[in-house]
Amino acid sequence: MRKKVSIVGAGNVGATAAHWIASKELADVVLVDVVEGVPQGKALDLLEAMPIEKRDVQVTGTNDYAATANSDVVVITAGIARKPGMSRDDLLNTNFKIMSDVVSKVVAQSPESILIVVSNPLDAMAQTAFKQAGFNRERVIGMAGVLDSARFRAFIAEELKVSVENVTAFVLGGHGDTMVPLPRYSTVAGIPITELIKPERLEQLVQRTRDGGAEIVKYLKTGSAYYAPSAATVEMVEAILKDKKKILPCAAYLEGEYGISGYYIGVPCKLGAAGLEQIIEIKLTPEEDAALKKSAAAVKELCAVIGV
């Protein structure tokens, strides 16, 4: 019996995540969207690619949550992007309503599932999903750190002209301007990058990582990143489905770890069959700790707007 992953939102991120999952033969995929025809068309197109890829998976597109029943993992990408003239609070309130509606429908069909939240603003949406689902914190995880770390790794590899396989990088905190890349814990083949890259150049790479999403939006003009966000999501899905016990930076609900309680913040997480299996606490310098607390304060502010 193959595993089952449902993806809510058949836009670029959701559909590309379905593509990665199917091409890795990780699970059968159900693509759900409110727009009639879009999930059905994209799912059928992907299904027809499977003989070429030599992958035996079922890909289904639907507007009906009944098709998502008994999913092992549900990825939620649903939500709207910020439009010109729209305030941050307008965006927050709109996506809060969408997330609340989606989660109630998902949970009704798959009460044992693990939720991976991708919708923005990420940390506040993960908090919304957690409160709405009524699951324990192990089964509601936010995707941001894997993406932010991948961007940082890409820039480091490019800078040093080394294989991306040699590069590990850690980014903590909220997803956005207040994220906290940690050069001390970032290495190339085990060598700290602080020994390989001059401080002023390293700061530029850190800033480029913080601006990673905005840099892509600037180029695309009418859209945002989706290849890397969807690949990051699928790395989390794979770690859970294969019970890999993989340590990845994810948004998790903290209960005192890092001196923070009651909010979703990006921290190193061990992912396995139970979802979030452990939060790894690493020693931070006073500066890093202050940056993480500042990031948590920004998340708290967003959550206050929507009352979660």
Active site residues: 175
Give CA–CA dist 123/251, Å, rounded: 7
Characterize 287-307 residue by residue with b for buried, 16 or more Cβ atoms within 10 angstroms of its Cβ, and e for exposed. Answer: ebeebbbebbebbbebbeebe
Q: Which residues pair with 8 in a beta bridge?
A: 32, 76
Q: Nearest CA to 123 among 250, 232, 211, 8?
A: 250
- List, edge to edge, every strand of the sheet that includes 73-76: 59-62, 28-32, 4-8, 73-76, 114-117, 140-142, 246-255, 261-272, 275-279
Give CA–CA dist 245/277, Å, rounded: 8
